[in-house]
Structure 1
Amino acid sequence: MDFSKAKQSRQKVIDLSKKGSIDDAIVPLVDKINSSSSYFTTSSCSGRICVFQEKNGVQKKGCEWLYVTHSYGSNQELESCMSKITGDAFFKFEPFILHVQCSAIQNARVMHEAAIASGFRNSGISIGKRGKIMLAIRSTHGLEVPLSKEGRLLINTEYLHHITELANEKMKENFKRIDR
Protein backbone atom coordinates (compact mmCIF):
# COMPACT_ATOMS: atom_id res chain seq x y z
CA MET A 1 0.00 0.00 0.00
CA ASP A 2 1.48 3.38 -0.90
CA PHE A 3 2.01 6.04 1.76
CA SER A 4 -1.00 8.27 0.96
CA LYS A 5 -3.40 5.30 1.00
CA ALA A 6 -1.89 4.04 4.24
CA LYS A 7 -2.34 7.50 5.79
CA GLN A 8 -5.99 7.73 4.67
CA SER A 9 -6.66 4.24 5.98
CA ARG A 10 -4.98 4.95 9.33
CA GLN A 11 -6.95 8.15 9.86
CA LYS A 12 -10.19 6.14 9.70
CA VAL A 13 -9.09 3.73 12.46
CA ILE A 14 -10.45 4.24 15.98
CA ASP A 15 -7.96 4.59 18.84
CA LEU A 16 -7.26 1.07 20.08
CA SER A 17 -5.34 2.10 23.21
CA LYS A 18 -6.63 1.15 26.65
CA LYS A 19 -7.31 4.87 27.27
CA GLY A 20 -9.10 5.27 23.93
CA SER A 21 -7.75 8.73 23.04
CA ILE A 22 -4.57 10.71 22.42
CA ASP A 23 -3.09 12.13 25.62
CA ASP A 24 -3.97 15.82 26.05
CA ALA A 25 -0.32 16.85 26.48
CA ILE A 26 0.59 15.74 22.95
CA VAL A 27 -2.55 16.48 20.93
CA PRO A 28 -0.96 19.61 19.34
CA LEU A 29 2.17 17.65 18.38
CA VAL A 30 0.20 14.72 16.95
CA ASP A 31 -2.08 17.10 15.04
CA LYS A 32 0.92 18.95 13.59
CA ILE A 33 2.55 15.72 12.45
CA ASN A 34 -0.68 14.35 11.01
CA SER A 35 -1.34 17.60 9.11
CA SER A 36 1.89 17.09 7.15
CA SER A 37 1.75 15.28 3.82
CA SER A 38 4.99 13.45 4.73
CA TYR A 39 4.07 11.87 8.08
CA PHE A 40 1.36 10.31 10.18
CA THR A 41 1.33 8.91 13.69
CA THR A 42 0.46 5.29 14.35
CA SER A 43 0.68 5.22 18.17
CA SER A 44 1.65 7.51 21.00
CA CYS A 45 1.87 8.05 24.75
CA SER A 46 2.80 11.35 26.38
CA GLY A 47 4.35 9.45 29.28
CA ARG A 48 2.66 7.91 32.29
CA ILE A 49 3.02 6.96 35.91
CA CYS A 50 1.18 3.80 36.85
CA VAL A 51 0.76 1.05 39.40
CA PHE A 52 -0.27 -2.33 38.07
CA GLN A 53 -0.31 -5.88 39.26
CA GLU A 54 0.40 -9.01 37.33
CA LYS A 55 -2.27 -11.53 36.58
CA ASN A 56 -1.12 -15.12 36.22
CA GLY A 57 2.53 -14.00 36.05
CA VAL A 58 1.87 -11.79 33.00
CA GLN A 59 3.14 -8.23 33.36
CA LYS A 60 1.97 -6.42 30.19
CA LYS A 61 -1.17 -7.95 28.69
CA GLY A 62 -3.93 -8.77 31.07
CA CYS A 63 -2.39 -6.95 34.02
CA GLU A 64 -4.65 -5.04 36.40
CA TRP A 65 -4.15 -1.28 36.41
CA LEU A 66 -4.55 0.14 39.92
CA TYR A 67 -3.43 3.69 39.10
CA VAL A 68 -2.50 5.57 35.95
CA THR A 69 -1.88 9.20 35.10
CA HIS A 70 -0.45 10.86 32.03
CA SER A 71 0.58 13.80 34.20
CA TYR A 72 2.23 14.07 37.62
CA GLY A 73 1.69 11.42 40.28
CA SER A 74 -0.33 12.19 43.40
CA ASN A 75 0.97 10.84 46.72
CA GLN A 76 -2.59 10.70 48.09
CA GLU A 77 -3.96 8.75 45.12
CA LEU A 78 -0.96 6.41 45.09
CA GLU A 79 -1.32 5.72 48.81
CA SER A 80 -4.99 4.93 48.22
CA CYS A 81 -4.25 2.43 45.46
CA MET A 82 -1.80 0.54 47.70
CA SER A 83 -4.75 -0.91 49.64
CA LYS A 84 -6.00 -2.56 46.42
CA ILE A 85 -2.84 -4.65 45.94
CA THR A 86 -3.45 -8.40 46.20
CA GLY A 87 -0.56 -9.82 44.16
CA ASP A 88 2.76 -8.80 42.61
CA ALA A 89 2.49 -5.06 41.99
CA PHE A 90 4.83 -2.55 40.35
CA PHE A 91 5.22 1.23 40.22
CA LYS A 92 6.30 2.42 36.79
CA PHE A 93 7.17 5.63 34.98
CA GLU A 94 7.16 5.26 31.20
CA PRO A 95 8.41 8.21 29.10
CA PHE A 96 6.91 9.65 25.92
CA ILE A 97 6.84 7.38 22.89
CA LEU A 98 5.65 8.19 19.40
CA HIS A 99 5.55 6.03 16.28
CA VAL A 100 5.44 7.88 12.98
CA GLN A 101 5.15 6.47 9.48
CA CYS A 102 7.19 8.54 7.02
CA SER A 103 6.73 8.97 3.27
CA ALA A 104 10.46 8.85 2.48
CA ILE A 105 13.73 8.08 4.24
CA GLN A 106 14.87 11.71 4.00
CA ASN A 107 11.71 12.77 5.91
CA ALA A 108 12.42 10.14 8.54
CA ARG A 109 16.00 11.42 8.91
CA VAL A 110 14.83 15.01 9.44
CA MET A 111 12.38 13.99 12.17
CA HIS A 112 14.91 11.58 13.70
CA GLU A 113 17.49 14.37 13.99
CA ALA A 114 14.90 16.61 15.67
CA ALA A 115 14.01 13.82 18.10
CA ILE A 116 17.66 13.21 19.04
CA ALA A 117 18.27 16.97 19.47
CA SER A 118 15.21 17.14 21.77
CA GLY A 119 16.64 14.46 24.08
CA PHE A 120 14.96 11.32 22.69
CA ARG A 121 18.26 9.52 22.18
CA ASN A 122 16.76 6.04 21.94
CA SER A 123 14.87 6.91 18.74
CA GLY A 124 15.32 4.95 15.55
CA ILE A 125 14.19 4.33 11.99
CA SER A 126 13.10 0.96 10.65
CA ILE A 127 12.29 -0.02 7.09
CA GLY A 128 9.93 -2.91 6.48
CA LYS A 129 10.15 -5.54 3.76
CA ARG A 130 7.68 -3.64 1.59
CA GLY A 131 9.43 -0.29 2.12
CA LYS A 132 7.29 1.01 4.99
CA ILE A 133 9.41 3.60 6.84
CA MET A 134 8.71 3.91 10.56
CA LEU A 135 10.26 6.21 13.11
CA ALA A 136 10.06 5.41 16.81
CA ILE A 137 10.72 8.44 19.03
CA ARG A 138 11.59 7.41 22.58
CA SER A 139 14.03 7.81 25.44
CA THR A 140 15.44 5.63 28.15
CA HIS A 141 14.61 7.55 31.32
CA GLY A 142 12.05 5.10 32.68
CA LEU A 143 11.60 3.79 36.20
CA GLU A 144 10.15 0.51 37.47
CA VAL A 145 9.99 -0.56 41.10
CA PRO A 146 8.39 -3.67 42.63
CA LEU A 147 5.88 -2.73 45.33
CA SER A 148 4.64 -6.09 46.55
CA LYS A 149 5.17 -9.83 46.37
CA GLU A 150 2.12 -12.09 46.63
CA GLY A 151 0.13 -9.21 48.12
CA ARG A 152 2.71 -8.36 50.82
CA LEU A 153 3.92 -4.75 50.55
CA LEU A 154 7.68 -4.40 50.17
CA ILE A 155 7.80 -0.63 50.68
CA ASN A 156 6.56 1.95 53.17
CA THR A 157 4.80 5.30 52.61
CA GLU A 158 8.06 7.25 52.82
CA TYR A 159 9.58 5.20 50.00
CA LEU A 160 6.38 5.50 47.93
CA HIS A 161 6.64 9.30 48.25
CA HIS A 162 10.32 9.11 47.23
CA ILE A 163 9.66 7.14 44.04
CA THR A 164 6.67 9.37 43.24
CA GLU A 165 8.96 12.40 43.50
CA LEU A 166 11.52 10.69 41.23
CA ALA A 167 8.82 9.82 38.70
CA ASN A 168 7.45 13.39 38.78
CA GLU A 169 10.97 14.74 38.11
CA LYS A 170 11.26 12.36 35.17
CA MET A 171 7.83 13.45 33.92
CA LYS A 172 8.89 17.11 34.13
CA GLU A 173 11.98 16.35 32.00
CA ASN A 174 9.79 14.28 29.68
CA PHE A 175 7.46 17.26 29.05
CA LYS A 176 10.46 19.55 28.45
CA ARG A 177 11.72 17.15 25.77
CA ILE A 178 8.28 17.03 24.12
CA ASP A 179 8.16 20.83 24.05
CA ARG A 180 11.59 20.95 22.38
Structure 2
Amino acid sequence: MQSRFKVKKRKILEQLDTPDVDYQDLSPKGSIDTPIRPLISDINGISGLVTTSSCSGRISVFLEGRKKEAHDAELPSETDVSRAGPGGKGGGAWLFISHDPVDFSEHPHFMSSFGLQSSDAGKEMAPNDSCRYIHLKFEPMVCTTTTLTVIVAAMSAGLRESGAVGLSTPKMGDLNPMVAVRSTGYSFDAIIGYQDENDNNIALVDEAYLSILVRIANDRFKVNTERIARFRAALLEQYSEAMTVSALKPEWEDPEIRRHRKREEGLARQRELASSQTASDT
Protein backbone atom coordinates (compact mmCIF):
# COMPACT_ATOMS: atom_id res chain seq x y z
CA MET A 1 0.00 0.00 0.00
CA GLN A 2 1.29 3.47 -0.89
CA SER A 3 1.89 5.96 1.92
CA ARG A 4 -0.39 8.99 2.27
CA PHE A 5 2.51 11.17 1.07
CA LYS A 6 3.04 9.15 -2.12
CA VAL A 7 -0.67 9.21 -2.90
CA LYS A 8 -0.75 12.98 -2.31
CA LYS A 9 2.33 13.57 -4.46
CA ARG A 10 0.96 11.45 -7.30
CA LYS A 11 -2.28 13.48 -7.34
CA ILE A 12 -0.38 16.78 -7.31
CA LEU A 13 1.88 15.70 -10.16
CA GLU A 14 -1.11 14.52 -12.17
CA GLN A 15 -2.70 17.94 -11.71
CA LEU A 16 0.50 19.72 -12.75
CA ASP A 17 0.66 17.59 -15.92
CA THR A 18 -2.71 18.99 -16.99
CA PRO A 19 -2.39 21.17 -20.13
CA ASP A 20 -2.30 24.89 -19.35
CA VAL A 21 -5.63 25.48 -21.11
CA ASP A 22 -7.32 23.03 -18.74
CA TYR A 23 -5.31 23.66 -15.55
CA GLN A 24 -6.98 25.69 -12.80
CA ASP A 25 -5.99 26.27 -9.16
CA LEU A 26 -7.20 28.51 -6.34
CA SER A 27 -4.75 31.38 -6.91
CA PRO A 28 -5.96 34.68 -8.42
CA LYS A 29 -4.03 33.80 -11.60
CA GLY A 30 -5.42 30.27 -11.68
CA SER A 31 -2.20 28.56 -12.78
CA ILE A 32 1.49 28.13 -11.92
CA ASP A 33 3.63 31.23 -12.48
CA THR A 34 6.10 30.78 -15.36
CA PRO A 35 9.15 32.21 -13.49
CA ILE A 36 8.90 29.54 -10.78
CA ARG A 37 8.18 26.50 -12.98
CA PRO A 38 11.84 25.29 -13.11
CA LEU A 39 12.04 25.34 -9.30
CA ILE A 40 8.72 23.48 -8.98
CA SER A 41 9.94 20.85 -11.44
CA ASP A 42 13.19 20.34 -9.50
CA ILE A 43 11.43 20.04 -6.14
CA ASN A 44 8.93 17.51 -7.45
CA GLY A 45 11.77 15.51 -8.98
CA ILE A 46 13.30 14.87 -5.53
CA SER A 47 12.11 11.82 -3.64
CA GLY A 48 10.29 12.82 -0.45
CA LEU A 49 9.45 16.35 -1.64
CA VAL A 50 6.41 17.85 -3.30
CA THR A 51 5.07 21.39 -3.61
CA THR A 52 1.52 22.12 -2.53
CA SER A 53 1.35 25.80 -3.51
CA SER A 54 3.62 28.48 -4.88
CA CYS A 55 3.88 32.05 -6.11
CA SER A 56 6.87 33.48 -7.96
CA GLY A 57 6.25 36.94 -6.52
CA ARG A 58 3.84 39.61 -7.71
CA ILE A 59 2.93 43.26 -7.98
CA SER A 60 -0.75 43.77 -7.28
CA VAL A 61 -3.41 46.37 -6.68
CA PHE A 62 -5.98 45.12 -4.20
CA LEU A 63 -9.32 46.53 -3.06
CA GLU A 64 -10.12 45.56 0.53
CA GLY A 65 -13.24 43.62 1.40
CA ARG A 66 -16.13 45.37 3.10
CA LYS A 67 -15.34 45.76 6.78
CA LYS A 68 -17.61 44.10 9.33
CA GLU A 69 -19.69 46.49 11.34
CA ALA A 70 -21.38 45.95 14.70
CA HIS A 71 -24.81 45.68 13.06
CA ASP A 72 -23.60 42.94 10.67
CA ALA A 73 -24.39 40.30 13.27
CA GLU A 74 -28.08 41.15 12.88
CA LEU A 75 -28.03 40.68 9.09
CA PRO A 76 -28.98 37.42 7.36
CA SER A 77 -25.95 35.32 6.48
CA GLU A 78 -26.49 35.69 2.71
CA THR A 79 -25.90 39.46 2.96
CA ASP A 80 -22.55 38.92 4.65
CA VAL A 81 -20.72 37.37 1.70
CA SER A 82 -18.53 40.39 0.91
CA ARG A 83 -17.75 41.34 4.51
CA ALA A 84 -14.13 41.16 5.70
CA GLY A 85 -12.33 41.14 9.00
CA PRO A 86 -10.13 43.86 10.55
CA GLY A 87 -8.14 45.83 8.00
CA GLY A 88 -10.25 44.56 5.11
CA LYS A 89 -8.79 41.05 5.33
CA GLY A 90 -10.82 38.49 3.44
CA GLY A 91 -13.09 39.22 0.51
CA GLY A 92 -11.97 42.12 -1.61
CA ALA A 93 -11.03 42.26 -5.28
CA TRP A 94 -7.85 42.25 -7.37
CA LEU A 95 -7.69 45.31 -9.61
CA PHE A 96 -4.28 44.47 -11.11
CA ILE A 97 -1.81 41.57 -10.89
CA SER A 98 1.56 41.00 -12.53
CA HIS A 99 3.98 38.14 -11.81
CA ASP A 100 6.72 39.94 -13.74
CA PRO A 101 8.18 43.44 -13.52
CA VAL A 102 5.71 45.92 -14.94
CA ASP A 103 6.56 47.15 -18.45
CA PHE A 104 6.15 50.93 -18.48
CA SER A 105 5.61 50.93 -22.26
CA GLU A 106 2.57 48.67 -21.83
CA HIS A 107 1.14 50.81 -19.01
CA PRO A 108 1.68 54.47 -19.91
CA HIS A 109 -1.00 55.53 -17.40
CA PHE A 110 -1.03 53.60 -14.14
CA MET A 111 -4.10 55.43 -12.96
CA SER A 112 -6.21 53.74 -15.63
CA SER A 113 -4.26 50.43 -15.51
CA PHE A 114 -5.09 50.16 -11.81
CA GLY A 115 -8.75 51.15 -12.24
CA LEU A 116 -8.39 54.45 -10.37
CA GLN A 117 -10.02 57.83 -10.86
CA SER A 118 -8.43 61.14 -9.99
CA SER A 119 -10.22 63.01 -7.22
CA ASP A 120 -12.38 65.92 -8.38
CA ALA A 121 -10.57 69.23 -8.47
CA GLY A 122 -11.10 71.14 -5.25
CA LYS A 123 -12.75 68.19 -3.53
CA GLU A 124 -11.17 67.32 -0.20
CA MET A 125 -10.00 63.70 -0.05
CA ALA A 126 -11.62 62.41 3.13
CA PRO A 127 -12.42 58.68 3.13
CA ASN A 128 -14.55 57.69 6.11
CA ASP A 129 -13.72 55.05 8.73
CA SER A 130 -15.62 52.28 6.97
CA CYS A 131 -14.21 52.89 3.48
CA ARG A 132 -12.43 50.18 1.53
CA TYR A 133 -8.80 51.14 0.89
CA ILE A 134 -6.89 50.24 -2.26
CA HIS A 135 -3.34 48.89 -1.81
CA LEU A 136 -0.41 48.60 -4.18
CA LYS A 137 1.69 45.65 -3.03
CA PHE A 138 4.86 43.80 -3.83
CA GLU A 139 4.85 40.26 -2.43
CA PRO A 140 7.98 38.04 -2.79
CA MET A 141 8.00 34.39 -3.77
CA VAL A 142 6.51 31.77 -1.51
CA CYS A 143 6.60 28.03 -1.94
CA THR A 144 5.02 25.47 0.37
CA THR A 145 6.60 22.03 0.37
CA THR A 146 7.16 18.97 2.53
CA THR A 147 10.11 18.05 4.83
CA LEU A 148 11.95 20.33 7.23
CA THR A 149 15.34 19.81 5.54
CA VAL A 150 14.26 22.35 2.89
CA ILE A 151 14.74 25.08 5.50
CA VAL A 152 18.54 24.69 5.31
CA ALA A 153 18.59 25.57 1.61
CA ALA A 154 16.04 28.36 2.14
CA MET A 155 18.08 30.03 4.89
CA SER A 156 21.28 29.87 2.85
CA ALA A 157 19.46 31.58 -0.04
CA GLY A 158 18.38 34.50 2.18
CA LEU A 159 14.76 33.37 2.61
CA ARG A 160 14.97 33.89 6.34
CA GLU A 161 11.28 33.93 7.21
CA SER A 162 10.92 30.31 6.07
CA GLY A 163 9.59 27.85 8.61
CA ALA A 164 7.24 25.03 9.47
CA VAL A 165 3.56 25.77 8.99
CA GLY A 166 2.12 22.35 9.81
CA LEU A 167 3.51 19.72 12.19
CA SER A 168 0.40 17.91 13.36
CA THR A 169 0.33 14.14 13.01
CA PRO A 170 -2.54 12.95 10.81
CA LYS A 171 -4.89 10.29 12.15
CA MET A 172 -3.78 7.80 9.54
CA GLY A 173 -0.18 7.79 10.78
CA ASP A 174 2.20 9.57 8.36
CA LEU A 175 3.88 12.75 9.59
CA ASN A 176 4.27 15.12 6.63
CA PRO A 177 5.46 18.49 7.97
CA MET A 178 4.76 21.44 5.69
CA VAL A 179 7.36 24.17 5.20
CA ALA A 180 6.73 27.64 3.77
CA VAL A 181 9.79 28.93 1.91
CA ARG A 182 9.49 32.72 1.96
CA SER A 183 11.06 36.07 2.76
CA THR A 184 8.83 39.00 3.66
CA GLY A 185 11.70 41.40 4.36
CA TYR A 186 11.54 43.05 0.94
CA SER A 187 7.77 43.17 0.52
CA PHE A 188 5.84 46.43 0.75
CA ASP A 189 2.25 47.65 0.93
CA ALA A 190 1.18 51.21 0.12
CA ILE A 191 -2.35 52.65 0.25
CA ILE A 192 -2.98 54.44 -3.05
CA GLY A 193 -6.73 54.99 -3.01
CA TYR A 194 -10.15 54.12 -1.61
CA GLN A 195 -13.64 53.25 -2.79
CA ASP A 196 -16.23 55.94 -2.14
CA GLU A 197 -19.91 55.53 -1.27
CA ASN A 198 -20.75 55.30 -5.00
CA ASP A 199 -18.27 52.43 -5.55
CA ASN A 200 -15.83 54.68 -7.42
CA ASN A 201 -12.15 53.87 -6.90
CA ILE A 202 -10.63 57.23 -6.00
CA ALA A 203 -6.85 57.79 -6.10
CA LEU A 204 -5.11 59.27 -3.07
CA VAL A 205 -1.85 59.77 -4.99
CA ASP A 206 -0.93 61.12 -8.41
CA GLU A 207 0.50 59.43 -11.52
CA ALA A 208 4.09 60.39 -10.65
CA TYR A 209 3.87 58.74 -7.23
CA LEU A 210 2.37 55.56 -8.74
CA SER A 211 5.33 55.43 -11.12
CA ILE A 212 7.75 55.66 -8.18
CA LEU A 213 6.01 52.78 -6.39
CA VAL A 214 6.05 50.60 -9.51
CA ARG A 215 9.78 51.28 -10.04
CA ILE A 216 10.45 50.23 -6.45
CA ALA A 217 8.40 47.06 -6.98
CA ASN A 218 10.32 46.28 -10.19
CA ASP A 219 13.61 46.61 -8.27
CA ARG A 220 12.29 44.22 -5.62
CA PHE A 221 11.57 41.74 -8.42
CA LYS A 222 15.31 41.65 -9.22
CA VAL A 223 16.10 40.66 -5.62
CA ASN A 224 13.27 38.15 -5.74
CA THR A 225 14.57 36.50 -8.94
CA GLU A 226 18.07 36.24 -7.46
CA ARG A 227 16.79 34.54 -4.30
CA ILE A 228 14.73 32.03 -6.25
CA ALA A 229 17.85 31.10 -8.24
CA ARG A 230 19.96 30.83 -5.06
CA PHE A 231 17.37 28.67 -3.33
CA ARG A 232 17.10 26.37 -6.33
CA ALA A 233 20.89 25.97 -6.51
CA ALA A 234 21.21 25.38 -2.74
CA LEU A 235 18.39 22.84 -2.76
CA LEU A 236 19.84 20.84 -5.65
CA GLU A 237 23.30 20.89 -4.06
CA GLN A 238 21.92 19.79 -0.68
CA TYR A 239 19.98 16.85 -2.10
CA SER A 240 22.75 15.92 -4.52
CA GLU A 241 25.13 15.54 -1.56
CA ALA A 242 22.51 13.58 0.40
CA MET A 243 21.94 11.19 -2.49
CA THR A 244 25.72 10.70 -2.94
CA VAL A 245 26.17 9.86 0.75
CA SER A 246 23.20 7.52 0.60
CA ALA A 247 24.65 5.73 -2.41
CA LEU A 248 28.01 5.22 -0.68
CA LYS A 249 26.53 4.14 2.64
CA PRO A 250 26.10 0.36 2.94
CA GLU A 251 22.56 -0.91 3.27
CA TRP A 252 21.33 -1.65 6.79
CA GLU A 253 21.67 -5.29 7.83
CA ASP A 254 19.96 -7.10 10.66
CA PRO A 255 22.56 -7.80 13.44
CA GLU A 256 21.70 -11.51 13.67
CA ILE A 257 22.00 -11.97 9.92
CA ARG A 258 25.30 -10.09 9.95
CA ARG A 259 26.73 -12.38 12.70
CA HIS A 260 25.68 -15.47 10.73
CA ARG A 261 27.23 -14.08 7.54
CA LYS A 262 30.50 -13.21 9.30
CA ARG A 263 30.64 -16.68 10.87
CA GLU A 264 30.13 -18.36 7.50
CA GLU A 265 32.78 -16.15 5.92
CA GLY A 266 35.24 -17.05 8.70
CA LEU A 267 34.58 -20.77 8.32
CA ALA A 268 35.03 -20.51 4.56
CA ARG A 269 38.42 -18.83 5.04
CA GLN A 270 39.46 -21.56 7.49
CA ARG A 271 38.49 -24.27 4.98
CA GLU A 272 40.44 -22.50 2.23
CA LEU A 273 43.49 -22.20 4.51
CA ALA A 274 43.29 -25.88 5.53
CA SER A 275 42.91 -26.91 1.91
CA SER A 276 45.94 -24.92 0.84
CA GLN A 277 48.07 -26.38 3.68
CA THR A 278 47.06 -29.96 2.69
CA ALA A 279 48.00 -29.28 -0.92
CA SER A 280 51.45 -27.98 0.11
CA ASP A 281 52.14 -31.04 2.32
CA THR A 282 51.55 -33.38 -0.60
The TM-score with structure 1 as length reference comes to: 0.86
Q: Does the 8 Å contact 1:74/1:164 carry over to 2?
A: no
Match of 1:38 in 2: 48
1:85 CA displacement: 5.7
Q: Which of 169, 172, 190 is matched with 1:129 structurally?
A: 169
Match of 2:52, SS state, is strand
CA deviations 1:125-163 (Å, max 9, x no partner) are: 242233221111000121100111334321111211111
Q: Separation in 2 of the partners of 1:68 and 1:163? A: 14
Could you say which residue in structure 1 is the equivalent of 2:32? 22
CA distance in 2: counterparts of 1:60 and 1:17, whole angstroms: 16
Identity %: 34
Whether 1:10 and 2:12 are equivalent positions in the alignment is yes
Greater share of residues in strand? 1
Larger Rg: 2
Greater relative contact order (Cα 8 A, min sep 6): structure 1 or 2? 1
Match runs of 1:128-167 below 5 Å: 128-130=168-170, 131-140=175-184, 141-149=186-194, 150=196, 151-167=201-217
Equivalent residue letter for 2:136: F
Q: For structure 1, which segment, 167-176 or 69-78, has the greater mean C-alpha deviation from structure 2 after superposition?
A: 69-78
Q: Matches of 2:117 and 2:226 in 1, distance apart?
A: 33
- Encode CA deviations 1:102-137: one digit per residue, 9 max, x unaligned: 3xxxxx22x211111111000012422332211110
Amino acid paired to 2:178: M
| SS of the residue 2:139 aligns to | strand
Does the CA-based 8 Å contact 1:91-1:144 persist in structure 2? Answer: yes
Which residue identity does 1:81 align to in structure 2? Answer: S
Instruction: Give matches, 1:41-52, under 5 Å.
Output: 41-52=51-62
Alignment of 1:83-98 (within 5 A): 83-84=115-116, 88-98=133-143
Which protein has the bigger helix share?
2
**TM-fit CA distance, 1:92:** 0.5
Letter of the structure 2 residue corresponding to residue 127 of structure 1: L
How many angstroms apart in 2 are the aligned matches of 1:164 and 1:119?
Answer: 23
Taking a change above 3 Å as real, the CA distance of residues 100 and 153 of structure 1, as seen in their structure-2 partners, is: same
Question: C-alpha distance in 2, partners of 1:20/1:60?
Answer: 20
| Match status 1:112 vs 2:144 | no
* Structure 2 stretches lacking a partner, 5+ long: 16-23, 68-83, 119-131, 231-282
Change over 3 Å in CA distance of 1:82–1:39 after alignment to 2: closer
